[in-house]
Amino acid sequence: MRYVLRKLGFYAIAAWLAITLNFLLPRLIPGDPVEQLMARMSQAGSVAPGEADTLRQLLGLGHGNGLQQYLGYLHQLVTLRFGMSITYFPVPVTTIIGQEIYWTVILVGVALVISVGLGLALGAVAGWRRGSRLDAGVPLAMLFSAMPYFWVALLLVYVFAQRLHLFPLSGGYDPALVPGWHAAFVATAVRHAILPAATIVISSVGTWMFGMRNMMVSTLSEDYVVAAQAKGLRPGKVMWGYAARNAVIPSVSGFAISLGFVVSGALAMEIVFSYPGIGYNLLAAVQNDDYPLMQGIFLVITLAVLAANLLVDLLHGFLDPRTRASR
């Protein structure tokens, strides 16, 4: 219990630090939102002298000094009111995040699970059958991981969408449809999701496979594996029940942390496929000096990563008593 409390205390401090950084970092970007808005407006019709001051009033910017703004920000967090986005003025930040996060969580989350599942299974088999043809495939999978991720995406678009016309070029769904839980929409959403998901899987499966394969190899030389084989257990039982089960432990924490980062989206994929998601909105928020939206997204990412870490910490405490004992 003391262990859990101490962990929770540590996470509370980490959360406070992260939240404070979320406040400070956006303000280190040069300029302010009005400058970015005016720069854009001057390219779509002339701007009038005095327009900037009116905008500042309209957006309700520039109230109070830094400390007052910080206290206001903490108050917003506690009351769960993040204010209005500037990029999408006057839409509340929560609406924007709510609208985009489903796409990210579903697509990136499912792709991660597929990638991890596939990578670990293939890695286990490759490690079990060292020197086999599958084992020779590990460097190939690593090659895909080493390739620039957006380039893999562009390649997929070129081959499967532009040349073969098997999949749509871009977007998350048929623009003629209104999103909702009906068959036509789900079908188009799935069709649009295949290439983006494939990008994520192709470019990340190698890393999981490589790690698992190597852990598998070192686990296989452990005495208890030799003992199990000597007992005459079936190879499948030894492979999955004895070797893979222990080899997978380091990957579990890697998986949990990746799970936390799922909510930050997959920027390159979103850009190449014009796919809905959080990553691009964060980029847009940064480019527009949109402090409220940036803070909202950072907060979601921070909390998700912290929660994933906490989960792993606690799980490890139960799974592996050695990590629990500090004395």
Partner 1 sequence: MSGTSARLWRAAAALLAVGVLAACTDSPAATGTQGASGVLTVTDGASKPFVAVFNPYSPTDSTAAGGMIFEPLYYFDTVDASRVSPWLATAYKWSSDGTSLTFTLRTGVTWTDGQPFTSADVAFTFQQEITNKALNQFNLPLTTVATPDPRTVTLSFSRPEYSDLFFIAGKTLILPKHIWSTVSDPATFANATPVGTGAYEVSSVTPEAMTLTANPHYYQPGMPKFKTVRFISYKDNNASNAALAAGELDWGGNYIPNIQRNYLGKNPNFRMINIPLSVAFLVPNYRTGPTAALPVRQAISAALQRDFISRTVYGGNAPATNPMALLTPNFSNVLDPSLKDEQLPAGDPTQARNILTQAGYKLGSDGIFTDPAGKPLAIQLQVIQPYTDYVQDVQIAQQQLKAAGINVVVDAESAQQFNNNKYNGDFQLLIDNYGYTPSPYSYYDNLLNSALAPKPGVPDLVGNYGGYANSAVDQALATIASTTDQATQKSAFATIEQQFVKDMPLIPLFEQQNEQEFNGNVVAGYPTSDNRYASPAIYMQPDLGWVVMRLAPAHH
From residue 191, how far is each of 164, 179, 269, 279 by CA, in Å?
Answer: 15, 14, 16, 21
What binding mask, one character per residue, do residues 243-272 give for partner 1 by CB under 8 A, x or -?
A: ---------------------------xxx
The window from 35-43, 226-234, 255-263, 302-310 that contacts partner 1 (CB under 8 A) reads: 35-43
From residue 121, how far is each of 128, 213, 240, 298 by CA, in Å?
Answer: 11, 9, 9, 34
In the range 282-321, which residues lie near partner 1 by CB under 8 A?
284, 287, 289
102 binds partner 1 (CB under 8 A): no
- The single residue among 5, 13, 48, 230 that binds partner 1, judged by CB under 8 A, is 48
Least distance in Å: CB of 270 to partner 1? Answer: 6
Q: Tell me the HSE value of 193 on the side-chain side, using a 13 A CA sphere.
A: 17
The window from 4-12, 124-132, 161-169, 212-220 that contacts partner 1 (CB under 8 A) reads: 161-169
For residues 289 and 86, the answer to whether their CB atoms sit within 8 Å is: yes
In the range 170-209, which residues lie near partner 1 by CB under 8 A?
170-173, 175-179
45 binds partner 1 (CB under 8 A): yes
Least distance in Å: CB of 89 to partner 1? Answer: 5
The window from 83-91, 200-208, 227-235, 246-254 that contacts partner 1 (CB under 8 A) reads: 83-91
Q: Tell me the HSE value of 61 on the side-chain side, using a 13 A CA sphere.
A: 18
Least distance in Å: CB of 78 to partner 1? Answer: 22
- The single residue among 14, 15, 18, 91 that binds partner 1, judged by CB under 8 A, is 91
46 binds partner 1 (CB under 8 A): yes
For residues 320 and 248, the answer to whether their CB atoms sit within 8 Å is: no
- Identify which of residues 143 and 169 has a Cβ nearer to partner 1 in the complex: 169
86 binds partner 1 (CB under 8 A): yes
- Identify which of residues 42 and 323 has a Cβ nearer to partner 1 in the complex: 42
Least distance in Å: CB of 265 to partner 1? Answer: 11
**What token pair was written down for 130?**
């060292």
- Identify which of residues 30 and 236 has a Cβ nearer to partner 1 in the complex: 30
From residue 100, how far is each of 7, 74, 286, 323 by CA, in Å?
Answer: 32, 24, 16, 38
For residues 19 and 305, the answer to whether their CB atoms sit within 8 Å is: no
Long-range contacts of residues 302-308, Cβ cutoff 8 Å, at least 24 apart: 302/15, 302/18, 302/19, 302/22, 303/15, 304/260, 304/261, 304/262, 304/263, 304/264, 305/257, 305/260, 305/261, 306/11, 306/14, 306/15, 306/18, 306/260, 307/260, 308/256, 308/257, 308/259, 308/260, 308/261
Least distance in Å: CB of 285 to partner 1? Answer: 10
Those residues with Cβ within 8 angstroms of residue 144's Cβ, 6 or more apart along the chain or in another chain: 152, 202, 203, 205, 206
Least distance in Å: CB of 60 to partner 1? Answer: 8
218 binds partner 1 (CB under 8 A): no
Please report, as ranges, the residues that interact with partner 1 according to CB under 8 A: 29-31, 34-39, 41-55, 57-59, 84, 86-91, 95-96, 99-100, 154, 157, 161-162, 169-173, 175-179, 270-276, 280-281, 284, 287, 289
